Amino acid sequence: MNIYHLGNIKNNKAILQKLGVQGGGVSIISKKMDLHIFQLKNIKTPALNILKQDVLSIGGELAVPSGVITCAKDRYDALLIVNSKQIEILSKKELAQPFGLKKLAKELANYSKDISYPTKIMGIINANEDSFYSESRFIAQNAIDKCKEMIKDGANIIDIGGVSTKPNADIVSIDEELKRIKPICDIIKSQKLYEKTIFSIDSFNPKVIEYALKSGFKIINDIMGAKDKRVIELAIKYGAKLSIMHIQGTPQTMQDNPYYDDVVVEVSQYFKDKISICEDMGLSIDDIIIDVGIGFGKRLEDNIALIQNLKEFKKFGCEILIGASRKSMIDKITPTKVEDRLSGTLAIHLKALDNGANIIRCHDVLEHYRAIKIYQEV
């Protein structure tokens, strides 16, 4: 007899099917193979005592402070440790319980959604002269040549922007931004390059966005999180996807002492509110992409926390975009010049895929294509 530790299994269903498990058993057992740890904050003490018993009854665990059983305080934090199958059971079980557990049950139900999206590489084209990475700057025909190279290298999406959004970036007029991206849009439209890959417009200005959408672009990448509701209206009008990013402040102010009590909780609430607005206006959840905004009003510890906890954002059912390409967080971990940050970029992006991201926004398409192919194989 032999026993082997299988380590980190990426595809539960595939290994069960290979073993010969049949029918519904694959779905049932695969859910028991995923472990989830939830932090519960500011929960009423009676609720925790009820929840503790219910969780233990289904084989899970709820870690609580010692004062919970005696109700020493009105509210406590706790850690819920369950697998995917137990989440399903618990989300139904707690619907009948008082003290706010009904609301908790509805929240848990969101985490039981089995939604996955294919991995996509989004290449970066900056149609300006001041983006922080000089090798990403292109104008007119040079930008088109780079687009064709990225398509050949494996880009599923190409994101084109006319304005730098680095910290303290210069403010550019809408007319100047349009002047920068217009020649690129015109060639993409005339050569029908939109038939070869998906083009994304990196802008929060409706005038610029609409010009790109008329040119065949299919994604709006709005770093301001659709603060201007006309952006949502344009996504609906042209049948485009909308990528909503979290940012604290503006590119000119975002790194002026950013601070969060709990960055994961606050960014999650931000997306909850934004998605609600989009859906109320008529934009389908399938057409919303969320981006936690690495480096946009974040400290190093905030960026790391968001990458480590990307699974939190899967509850929304949206595609998740991550963009840490050559950013300063790499330099803060291990001092590195911008031109030498490819290895750090790949490390962060592969970890992000591990944790739930599916769209990787990057400067180096070919290197990411190769790295992701190997990552997926192993």
Q: Which amino acid is at 181?
A: I
Round to whole Å and give the CA distance between 89 and 93.
6
Three-state secondary structure call for residue 137 = strand
Query: Residue 184 in 3-state DSSP?
Result: helix
Give yes or no for a contact between 90 and 59, defined as CB atoms under 8 angstroms apart.
no
Asked whether the beta carbons of 313 and 357 are under 8 A apart, the reply is no
Among the listed residues 31, 120, 327, 341, the single catalytic one is: 327
Are 245 and 219 in contact by the 8 Å Cβ rule? The answer is: no
Quick check: is 370 catalytic?
no
Report helix angle 84-93 to 101-111, nearest 10.
150
Q: Name the token pair of 9.
A: 């299994």
Residue 75 appears among annotated catalytic residues: no
E-only strand ranges, the chain: 35-44, 61-63, 75-83, 120-126, 157-161, 198-202, 219-222, 241-245, 288-291, 319-322, 359-362
Of 337, 361, 370, 373, catalytic: 361
Which residues are marked as active site?
A: 327, 361
